[in-house]
Amino acid sequence: MLKRTLIGLLRSHELTGDKAKDPLLKSHFYKLSKDKAWEEVVSLLKKMQGYKVLHEVVSVGEIVLEKRTMTGRTMDITVSVIGVNPVISAVDIYSASRGSLGDLGSNYRTILDIYRTIDKKLAAYKTSGI
């Protein structure tokens, strides 16, 4: 966690993906069609305390959210739902803080928070990938 805070002194964004070095930032996969995963993820994000859904772009599978930190900064978060094949979907998250200063790891913690919430709801469908 200290390493994340130190990285956060300089960096004000964080993202997940297949090739992430940090295992906690790897894409999450679910045994659900893209449409079903989209439905579940969108309804879950709308209920998450402290997050505000700004846009839903079904065609590209992106949900854009905003979150205010305790220090008053605004974070812009994009959650992507990707259909890997007809029965498996992946969820990736990009989070960035507005402003020029680093985020002290808050984008990292936000991503983990969102993944925890999604994983809890979709536990029955979680898979290690393709």
Contact criterion met (CB below 8 Å) for 53 and 107? no
Residue with tokens 């990292």: 108
Q: What is the pLDDT of residue 72?
A: 82
pTM exceeding 0.85: yes
Contact criterion met (CB below 8 Å) for 95 and 60? no
Domain that holds residue 76: 2-127
How many structural domains compose the chain? 1
Q: What is the pLDDT of residue 84?
A: 95
Q: What is the CATH number of the domain that holds 33?
A: 3.30.310.220
Q: What is the pLDDT of residue 129?
A: 67
Segments of the chain scoring below 50 in pLDDT: 4-6, 8
